[in-house]
Structure 1
Amino acid sequence: MATFPLLLPLIMVCMASAARPPRHRPPCRTVQMSVVVCSDLSLTSAPFNLPPGVQTLDLSHNQVQNLTLETLAYRTDLRHLNLNSNKILFIQPGLFENMTDLKVLDLAGNHLNVFALSKNKIGTLTAVETLDLSSNGLYTGMSDFLIADSPSLLELSLNSNSITKIAQNTFRGALSLRKVSLHNNVILEIEDGAFDSLDHLTELDLSKNSITCITDFNLSRLKVLNLNQNSIEIFQSTRSTDLYDLLFLDLSENKLARFPLLPANNTIRHLDLSRNQLQSINMTDMPEMKTHVVLNHLRYLDLSYNQLKDTPQSFFHTMTSLEVLNVSNNCIDSFSIDDKNLLPAVTIINLNYNSLQRLSFGEATLQSLRQLLLQGNDLSTLEQETFKTFPSLNLLQLQENNLKVCPSDTKLSPSDPNHIHRPDCVSFSFIPSLKSLYLSQNNLNSLPLRAFAGTRLSLLDLSLNPGLEMHPDSLSGLEHTLIHLFLRENNISKLNTDISSLTSLKLVDLSTNQLTSLPTLTSESSIETLNLQNNSLVTLEHSTMVALERSLKTLYVGSNPLNCCSNLGFLYLVQHSAVVVPDIETVTCLLQEDSEPINIKNVNREMCHRPKKASYIFGIVVIVLFTMITLGLLVKYCKSRKRKRIRRFSV
Structure 2
Amino acid sequence: MMKHIQKLPNKSVGFVGLCLVLLTRCGRIEGETVVNCSAQNYPSKPCSFPPDTTTLDLSHNNIEKILRQDFSGIRQLKKLYLQFNQINNVDPLIFQDNPELEYLDISNNQLLEISALPFTNLPVLKHLDISNNPYDNIQLGDTFALLRHLQVLKLGNPDIVSFGKDSFQGLSGLALKEFHLITGDFREYEPRSLKVLHDLEKITLEVNMWQNIDVLLTMGKDIVNSTKALKLANLDLLRIEKVIPIYDIFLNSDLKSFTLQNISTDGNYCTPLLTVILNSRIEELTLDTLHTKANCTPIIHSFEKVMLKRFSLKNLDNPKFIFFLPQPTMKKFLEKVQAISVINCGMFFLPCLISDSLLSMETLDLSNNTLQEETLFPRCNKPFPALKSLVIDTNTFLNLSELGNYTSHMKYLVNFSASDNKIVIGSQYAINWTRSLKRLNLRGNQLSDDVFMYLPDTLEVLDISYNAISVIANVKKMNNLVELYLSGNKILSLADLSSLSSLRLLYVDRNKITGVTVEELSAIHLTELKFSYNPFDCNCNIRYLSRYCQSTSVAIVDWPKGYRCETPESLKDRELQSVSIPWASCNKGAFACIMLVQMVVTILIIWYAIRKWKRRNYSQVLRET
Q: TM-score normalized by structure 1?
A: 0.58
Aligned to 2:83: none
Q: 1:95-494 to 2 correspondence within 5 Å?
A: 109=117, 139-140=136-137, 143=139, 159-160=155-156, 164-166=160-162, 170=166, 187-191=184-188, 194-196=190-192, 202=198, 207-208=205-206, 210-212=208-210, 213-215=212-214, 217-218=217-218, 222-224=222-224, 247-257=228-238, 260-263=246-249, 264-280=251-267, 282-283=269-270, 295-308=279-292, 311-312=297-298, 314=300, 320-330=306-316, 331=318, 336=326, 339-362=330-353, 365-380=357-372, 381-382=374-375, 383=377, 388-405=382-399, 407=401, 427-446=406-425, 448=427, 449-451=429-431, 453-466=433-446, 468=448, 470-471=450-451, 473-475=453-455, 478-479=456-457, 481-494=458-471
Check conservation: 1:133, 1:157, Cα contact below 8 A.
yes
Alpha-carbon distance, 1:265 to partner? 3.8
Q: Deviations over 1:229-268 (max 9, x none)?
A: xxxxxxxxxxxxxxx7775332123323488432444443
Name the amino acid aligned to 1:368. S
Alpha-carbon distance, 1:578 to partner? 1.3
Would the alpha carbon gap of residues 384 and 553 (structure 1) be closer, same or farther in structure 2, given more than 3 Å must change?
A: same
Check conservation: 1:265, 1:294, Cα contact below 8 A.
no
Q: Deviations over 1:149-181 (max 9, x none)?
A: x9xx9x998945897443665569899789999
Helix, strand or coil: the match of 2:233?
coil
Alpha-carbon distance, 1:273 to partner? 1.0
Would the alpha carbon gap of residues 182 and 368 (structure 1) be closer, same or farther in structure 2, given more than 3 Å must change?
A: closer
Would the alpha carbon gap of residues 570 and 333 (structure 1) be closer, same or farther in structure 2, given more than 3 Å must change?
A: farther
Would the alpha carbon gap of residues 439 and 107 (structure 1) be closer, same or farther in structure 2, given more than 3 Å must change?
A: same
Alpha-carbon distance, 1:278 to partner? 3.1
Name the amino acid aligned to 2:279. L
Check conservation: 2:514, 2:534, Cα contact below 8 A.
no
Helix, strand or coil: the match of 1:520?
helix
Would the alpha carbon gap of residues 467 and 178 (structure 1) be closer, same or farther in structure 2, given more than 3 Å must change?
A: closer
Alpha-carbon distance, 1:357 to partner? 1.6
Would the alpha carbon gap of residues 178 and 494 (structure 1) be closer, same or farther in structure 2, given more than 3 Å must change?
A: closer
Aligned to 1:579: 554
Q: Deviations over 1:537-570 (max 9, x none)?
A: 223366632321x334323232323343355664
Q: 2:504 aligns with which of 528, 536, 550?
A: 528
Q: 1:565 aligns with which of 513, 527, 540?
A: 540
> Partners in 2 of 1:208 and 1:471 — Cα distance?
49
Name the amino acid aligned to 1:401. N
> Partners in 1 of 2:440 and 2:526 — Cα distance?
21
Name the amino acid aligned to 1:189. F
Name the amino acid aligned to 1:436. N
> Partners in 1 of 2:308 and 2:468 — Cα distance?
43
Alpha-carbon distance, 1:533 to partner? 1.7
Q: Deviations over 1:281-300 (max 9, x none)?
A: 73589xxx999665331112
Aligned to 1:515: 491
Name the amino acid aligned to 1:560. P
> Partners in 2 of 1:539 and 1:162 — Cα distance?
59
Q: TM-score normalized by structure 2?
A: 0.60
Alpha-carbon distance, 1:274 to partner? 1.9
> Partners in 1 of 2:222 and 2:520 — Cα distance?
64
Would the alpha carbon gap of residues 161 and 110 (structure 1) be closer, same or farther in structure 2, given more than 3 Å must change?
A: farther
* RMSD, matched Cα: 5.2
Which stretch has the larger CA shift, 568-577 or 176-185? Answer: 176-185
Helix, strand or coil: the match of 1:495?
coil
Check conservation: 1:139, 1:163, Cα contact below 8 A.
yes
Helix, strand or coil: the match of 1:215?
helix
> Partners in 2 of 1:527 and 1:577 — Cα distance?
17
Helix, strand or coil: the match of 1:249?
strand
> Partners in 2 of 1:455 and 1:316 — Cα distance?
39
> Partners in 2 of 1:454 and 1:461 — Cα distance?
15
Q: When you count helix as a share of all residues, which structure comes out higher?
A: 2
Unpaired segments ≥5 residues, structure 1: 1-25, 27-38, 44-60, 66-70, 72-83, 86-105, 113-129, 225-243, 408-421, 624-651
Aligned to 2:531: 556
* Amino-acid identity (%): 18
Alpha-carbon distance, 1:493 to partner? 1.9
Would the alpha carbon gap of residues 302 and 443 (structure 1) be closer, same or farther in structure 2, given more than 3 Å must change?
A: same
Indicate the structure (1 or 2) with the bigger Cα radius of gyration. Answer: 1
Name the amino acid aligned to 1:304. D
Q: Deviations over 1:190-217 (max 9, x none)?
A: 436x124876654797845554333162
Check conservation: 1:518, 1:541, Cα contact below 8 A.
no
Unpaired segments ≥5 residues, structure 2: 1-50, 52-66, 72-89, 97-104, 107-113, 121-125, 600-625
Larger RCO, structure (CA 8 Å, separation 6 or more):
2
Helix, strand or coil: the match of 1:544?
helix
Check conservation: 1:555, 1:581, Cα contact below 8 A.
yes
